[in-house]
């Protein structure tokens, strides 16, 4: 009986040792590289999330625009993740969207809330690769 138990433990250990552990779930053989996109943020004139104003009015403006975008189920997750940066009542929209239609939809929502003249469009339509 003890021999059976020992054989079972040894067999179990052997099987566990043979199993691959910690498989990588990378989508491809290369790591994603967004270095080129990040270079534009080094430009002193580029509006980044770090420049979001903490005034209650600007925070409320950003929140209202984000809620409006998130409620629109026709938009892709990419469009819902654009950067919305408000400062002094002005709004800058940055980031990729899938189509021109999504770009115009996001812009229209921001303009309806902040005003047409107060929205800076820096959205990019991601080209199909």
Question: Mean pLDDT for each 10-residue chunk of the chain (129 residues)?
Answer: 77 70 53 57 61 83 95 95 92 94 96 93 81
Asked if the structure places residue 66 within a domain, the reply is yes
pLDDT number for residue 44: 55
* Enclosing domain of residue 99: 48-129
Asked if the structure places residue 35 within a domain, the reply is no
Asked if the structure places residue 121 within a domain, the reply is yes
pLDDT number for residue 40: 55
pLDDT number for residue 38: 57
Asked if the structure places residue 41 within a domain, the reply is no
55-75 b/e (C-beta count within 10 Å ≥ 16 → b) = eeebeebbebbeeebeeeeeb
Asked if the structure places residue 10 within a domain, the reply is no
pLDDT number for residue 71: 97
Q: Residue 125: which residues within 8 A CB-CB, separation 6 or more?
A: 96, 97, 98, 99, 100, 102, 103
CATH of the domain at 78: 3.30.1340.30
pLDDT number for residue 111: 95
Asked if the structure places residue 80 within a domain, the reply is yes
Q: Is the pTM of this model over 0.75?
A: no
pLDDT number for residue 123: 93
pLDDT number for residue 37: 55
Task: Annotate 22-80 with three-state secondary structure.
Answer: CCCCCCCCCCCCCHHHHHHHHCCCCCCHHHCCCCHHHHHHHHHHHHHHHHCCCCCHHHH
If one counts the domains in the chain, the total is: 1
Which residue has tokens 């994603």? 32
Asked if the structure places residue 81 within a domain, the reply is yes
Asked if the structure places residue 116 within a domain, the reply is yes
């Amino acid at each position: 009986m003890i021999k059976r138990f020992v054989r079972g433990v040894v067999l179990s250990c052997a099987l566990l040792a043979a199993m691959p552990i910690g498989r990588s779930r990378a989508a491809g053989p290369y790591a994603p590289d967004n270095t080129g996109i990040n270079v534009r943020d080094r430009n002193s004139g580029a509006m980044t999330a770090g420049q979001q104003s903490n005034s209650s009015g600007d925070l409320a403006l950003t929140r209202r625009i984000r809620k409006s975008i998130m409620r629109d189920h026709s938009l892709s997750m990419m469009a819902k993740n654009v950067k919305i940066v408000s400062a002094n009542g002005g709004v800058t929209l940055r980031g990729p969207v899938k189509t021109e239609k999504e770009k115009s939809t996001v812009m229209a929502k921001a303009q309806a809330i902040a005003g047409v003249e107060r929205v800076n469009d820096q959205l990019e339509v991601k080209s199909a690769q």
